[in-house]
Homo-oligomer: A and B are copies of this chain.
Amino acid sequence: MEAIEKTLNFIVEIEQLKDVYRKTRPVGLDRFENSAEHSWHVCLAALMLKDFANEAVDIHRVIKMLLIHDLGEIDAGDTIIYASETSDNKAKEAAGVRRLLQLLPAELAQEFTALWQEFEAGETAEARFAKAIDRVPPLLHNLLGDGHSWKTHGVTADQVFSVNQRIAAGSEALWSVMRTRLEAAVRDGLLK
């Protein structure tokens, strides 16, 4: 019973991720996306695109990573990827993830802390694919939403190609499709 009570406290605490707002708007919505609904979205995207990973991946591990990948933002806030991922912010996120996961029974805390670190390091097939998928929805938001976040934050085509080519490390096929769409956005003047 104590383990259930602890876990329920965790479940309530992580709900704050619903109050962390990102820099893009979901397609057709007139508000910014929050990191909880984003996390759901990338889990489903990973699940449906798993056959296009460069290497065979354990999709269950990918989804577990994506379910927790943004928990650190509850304490650290969301930062735009183009403003560089600073070591200060990374340290805040790591501390935040630790604080939250330590609400759980010890064995779970340990398992998911290790999984979060694996995601952050980006050195396994699962982490590479999870990180690739994580980039896709914000690109779609911009591509289908008049480049709103690129324009607001003065993000250039060079930056978009440079940061997002990491998609290829998880899925060459997916990057090929996204790169084609981005090139069309440049031709259309959406991205400069």
Question: Which of B28, B44, B60 has a CB less than 8 Å from the CB of A68?
Answer: B44
Give A104's nearest chain B residue, CB to CB: B48
**Are B4 and A27 touching (Cβ within 8 A)?**
no
Interface residues on A, range: 35 or more
Question: Which of B4, B27, B104 has a CB less than 8 Å from the CB of A12?
Answer: B27
Give A29's nearest chain B residue, CB to CB: B19
Copies in the complex: 2
**Are B18 and A176 touching (Cβ within 8 A)?**
no
**Are B43 and A4 touching (Cβ within 8 A)?**
no
**Are B68 and A8 touching (Cβ within 8 A)?**
no
Q: Which 10 A-B pairs have the closest CB atoms?
A: A40-B40, A36-B37, A60-B60, A37-B37, A39-B40, A15-B26, A18-B37, A4-B177, A7-B48, A18-B26
